[in-house]
Amino acid sequence: MGTQQYASQDSQEIKLSCKNLWKVFGPNPQKFMAKHKQNPPSEAFIKTNHIGAVKNASFDVHPGEIFVIMGLSGSGKSTLVRCLSRLHKPTTGNIFFEGQDLSKVREKALIQLRRHKMGMVFQHFGLLPHRNVLENIAFPLEVQGIDRKQRKQRAMEVIDLVGLNDRVENLPMELSGGEQQRVGIARSLVVEPEVWFLDEPFSALDPLIRAEMQDEFLRLQRMLHKTIIFITHDFLEAIRVADKIAIMKDGEIVQIGTPEELITEPADSYVGEFTKKVPRGKVISVKAVMDEISEAEFSSLEKQGKAVMSDIPIEKCARQVLTQEPPVCVTDECGETFGMIEKEKFIDTLFEDSKPHSETEYVN
């Protein structure tokens, strides 16, 4: 999925993280939080007319990772990303960007951070209607005070990247939705940001264009290796692009995990509901269905047929697993056999409802 190979999961380095982040709207959020010792129960919100848009969010994002925040509308995902990019000031909690606490940074330093290290793409594009494509894309450079010639040159590079070369002089309203979002993407990349925030970037587009833009996005990321916070309400989109997904509900993060983890071990029925529609064969890897074998077992194993790699999706080896008589062997990247696949487990994973619910059902 996505660009997992670039995500340095093992390294200690963390690009962006938040700790116990709260964003509360209402008459007096600060006082409200203090009164409840920074951890108000959900009943308290209704009683005092406060709304908890983000409740106690904590997570880490590693360099080069695509971190997707998924939730339905009103779940607080947009507010959360606006806290991370400091468009909103969080009520309590901390945000660390390259080790620096963003919740304490002053306005001036924040402007510098935004100018050089952040880029953001918006659901409805957020283009400035009075500026043409080139001027929109060069806008972040203009704000920095870079001279006209230089910013045009840099903007043209990004325009090339998103393939808008023949639209340079057009105004936003003369472009299609997909083209407008390309402008939005180009503008957010023009300063070569460290973190790239995308707030439902493809939700306003037609399904076909959306799929095309997702491919385009993944292509760009393969070239640029940005650290990405990607917001969506579409679970299929999430699993398509994500290295890691955080699922939000009513302001709280319900579960954080890789797409595969969410599907094979959903934390609750809410998460399970989303994962139902997923083409499981495409997402679940061989590793999740195999049984590890010890060296003793290995020597007694009948080695027949071709072994499969542990990191391919199970869809790719379904025919072999189901038709071959002895269990199929699984190898790691170096070709060492370290597991095998039982047919029953394979089928149960692929077809979630295939497990017999109770014996009696079959007797009758």
Q: In what order do the strands lie in the sheet with 337-341?
A: 290-292, 337-341, 328-331, 308-309
Q: How far is the CB of 303 from other proteins (least distance, A)?
A: 57
Taking the least distance from each CB to other proteins, the nearer of 140 and 257 is 140
**241/215 Cα distance (integer angstroms):** 9
Q: How far is the CB of 116 from other proteins (least distance, A)?
A: 8
Which positions lie near other proteins, rule CB under 8 A? 82, 85, 87, 111-112, 114-116, 118-120, 122-131, 139-140, 142-144, 187-188, 191, 197
| Residue corresponding to tokens 């083209």 | 179
Pair 186, 154: CB distance under 8 Å: no
Q: How far is the CB of 117 from other proteins (least distance, A)?
A: 10
Taking the least distance from each CB to other proteins, the nearer of 96 and 139 is 139
Taking the least distance from each CB to other proteins, the nearer of 44 and 204 is 204
Q: Cα angle at 162 between 157 and 165, to 5 degrees?
A: 65
Q: How far is the CB of 188 from other proteins (least distance, A)?
A: 8
Taking the least distance from each CB to other proteins, the nearer of 72 and 111 is 111
Strands (E), 233-360: 244-249, 252-257, 290-292, 308-309, 328-331, 337-341
Pair 351, 322: CB distance under 8 Å: no
For helices 133-144 and 107-117, what crossing angle results, to 10°? 130
Q: How far is the CB of 15 from other proteins (least distance, A)?
A: 17
Taking the least distance from each CB to other proteins, the nearer of 142 and 252 is 142
Taking the least distance from each CB to other proteins, the nearer of 45 and 97 is 97
Q: How far is the CB of 307 from other proteins (least distance, A)?
A: 49
The runs of H, that is alpha helices, within 195-283 are 207-224, 235-241, 259-264, 269-275, 280-283
